[in-house]
A and B are shown apart, each in its own frame.
Chain A
């Protein structure tokens, strides 16, 4: 059992959901203000970390 892998999958899905919310609130042009750009950058950074965890846990 890999609790870390499972948590990373859910954390990743939640981060994608945050990105989805930004797409919704900026539709239809998707022009992001500074705050939204910072939120996207942070979410992407965290997503990369979740991908790294999954790689380590599932593809050792």
Chain B
């Protein structure tokens, strides 16, 4: 069925259980779907934009209140909505980093963190992972010491992932922030895989900036996200424009430089807002989500030759699994080659594993109900058994 012209209607969430690693936390709530229907037009949230003409001052729809609510929920001083986490990284890097400054991120940082620092001219240094694919305070301290000695000054910014996108591992953010602050290095926590799906308390972590992704973990349309900041850093990253036209003499009120004025309008912002009550509620059920994640991982581990590359038992719903010794052996002789796995899963109502992947791949069980978790776990085992693999 087409929704317009040559564009197919997207029905995957209605027809299948989707375990795609990046899509799980961004599935819209029914409330967000309804809000998007009502506010799909471009400048729809601007009907009641009054002086001082800035998005986060709009009271109808209650965008101003939403900003206050998100700041309180994250336990941070100030919040702005942004068009995706990457724009949050970019705003902070642009504010904090001068050309030639040493900066620190991690061996598990997302490419948008790298690129945002590249845009600002920062000299990149990665904190290495430990043997368990985790970023530790010990490794962070060693890197900060090394970089500070090398440059004769401390790095101007440190990025660290609360949960990384490769393994779904949880890292030592609080301890790393403590170490960084001993060097007076401000810390940005990338919460793209945590803000909106599990509890996050910015002040408890002791970080200076928190970035979240609306379309990855807050049940919101793309592109959307949040940037939160504390104290003096909030004042810096959310500074207002001082520019003046030399011919016209025009000035631009309280527009914020890094936000480029208004950030997120129409469907993305109302979708983010409409899902927020459900998002606040769902983070309280994180333990059950982790329990479900472990059920599926355990089913996979019952297939002989399968190993998990993420930390185990799982503490998150995004998991990196290694099936070189199981499904990849089947692929070697199967007429569909590596495509047999995604094909077999789809026939049984499960999608989201990259077609062709039978070696090392990722999946995410976030948001599936108990019936769907049982279905996914059973499906992996059935596909293994149907292809002659041993299941314990």
Contact = CB atoms under 8 A, between A and B. Distances in A.
Q: Is B truly associated with A? A: yes
A53 B352 CA distance: 41
Contacts, number: 38
B37 A10 contact: yes
Nearest to A10: B38
A17 B30 contact: yes
Interface string A11-38: 0011001101101111111000000000
B16 interface: yes
Nearest to A21: B30
A13 B34 CA distance: 8
The main secondary structure of chain A at its interface with chain B is helix
* Main SS at interface, chain B: helix
A46 to B, nearest CB: 14
Interface residues of A, number: 14
Given A14-B37, A27-B14, A20 B30 contact: yes
A13 B38 CA distance: 10
B13 A27 contact: yes
Contacts of A17: 30, 33-34, 37
Contact of B15 (A14, A25, A28): A28
A10 B38 CA distance: 8
B38 A27 contact: no
A27 B37 contact: no
B37 A24 contact: no
Contacts of B17: 27-28
B375 interface: yes
Contact of B375 (A20, A24, A28): A28
B30 A27 contact: no
A10 B35 CA distance: 10
Contacts of A21: 30, 33
Nearest to B16: A28
A23 B37 contact: no
Contacts of B119: none
Interface in B4-50: 13-17, 27, 30, 33-34, 37-38
Interface of A: 10, 13-14, 17-18, 20-21, 23-29
